[in-house]
Amino acid sequence: MGIPASVTPSDSDSHRSDTSDSPTTIEIINAVASIATALGFIMVIIQFWYTRKKDKDDQVRIEEERNNNLLDSQSEQKRMREQFELQLAQSHTQQFEHSLFSLLNLFNQVVLQLKFKDKTDMYGDDNPVEEYGRGVFDEAARRIKRMCELRIMDDPDDSDNPYTHPVKSIAEARYQMAERYHDNYYIYFEEILNHYFRSLYHIFKYIDKSELIKDDRKPYYASIVRSQLSQNELLAIMFNLIIYDYGYPQFLRLDKKYRILENFRHDAPFLKHYYDLYIAIKADTESEDGEDGISLKGYRSLYLDF
Do residues 95 and 102 lie in contact, with contact meaning Cβ atoms separated by under 8 Å? no
Task: Flag whether pLDDT at 243 surpasses 70.
Answer: yes
- The predicted pLDDT at position 289 comes to 41
- The structure's pTM equals 0.68
Burial of 104 (0-12, 13-18, 19+ CB in 10 A): middle
pLDDT top residue among 163 and 195: 195
Task: Flag whether pLDDT at 303 surpasses 60.
Answer: no
Do residues 306 and 178 lie in contact, with contact meaning Cβ atoms separated by under 8 Å? no
Task: Flag whether pLDDT at 141 surpasses 50.
Answer: yes
Contact partners, residue 249, CB within 8 Å, separation at least 6: 285, 291, 292, 294, 296
Give which of 239, 252, 254 is closest to 184, Cα–Cα. 239
Confidence of residue 300 (pLDDT cuts 50, 70, 90): very low
How far apart (Å, rounded) are the C-alpha atoms in residues 122 and 107? 28
Gyration radius of the chain's alpha carbons: 51
Give which of 227, 146, 228, 155 is closest to 180, Cα–Cα. 146
- The predicted pLDDT at position 291 comes to 42
Confidence of residue 298 (pLDDT cuts 50, 70, 90): very low
pLDDT top residue among 61 and 285: 61
Contact partners, residue 223, CB within 8 Å, separation at least 6: none
- DSSP 8-state class, residue 183: I
Task: Flag whether pLDDT at 43 surpasses 50.
Answer: yes
- The predicted pLDDT at position 37 comes to 84
- DSSP 8-state class, residue 300: G
Element (H, E) at 298: none
Helices (H), 113-134: none
Q: Which phi and psi (to 5°) does residue 248 adopt? A: -100, 130
Mean per-residue pLDDT, 136-141 = 92
How far apart (Å, rounded) are the C-alpha atoms in residues 110 and 134? 10
Task: Flag whether pLDDT at 131 surpasses 90.
Answer: yes
How far apart (Å, rounded) are the C-alpha atoms in residues 170 and 277? 8
How far apart (Å, rounded) are the C-alpha atoms in residues 203 and 237? 14
How far apart (Å, rounded) are the C-alpha atoms in residues 248 and 59? 74
- The predicted pLDDT at position 161 comes to 67
Task: Flag whether pLDDT at 227 surpasses 90.
Answer: yes
Do residues 107 and 203 lie in contact, with contact meaning Cβ atoms separated by under 8 Å? yes
How far apart (Å, rounded) are the C-alpha atoms in residues 163 and 272? 9
Three-state DSSP class for residue 121: coil
Task: Flag whether pLDDT at 198 surpasses 50.
Answer: yes
Through-space distance between the first and last CA atoms of the chain, rounded to whole angstroms: 180
Q: Which phi and psi (to 5°) does residue 167 adopt? A: -70, 160
Q: CA dist 135 to 60, 109, 181, 220, 302, Å? A: 82, 14, 19, 28, 32
Confidence of residue 79 (pLDDT cuts 50, 70, 90): confident
Give which of 167, 259, 278 is closest to 219, Cα–Cα. 259
> Using CA of residue 244, residue 177, residue 204, residue 284, what is the dihedral sign?
negative
Do residues 250 and 202 lie in contact, with contact meaning Cβ atoms separated by under 8 Å? no
Do residues 229 and 263 lie in contact, with contact meaning Cβ atoms separated by under 8 Å? yes
- DSSP 8-state class, residue 215: G
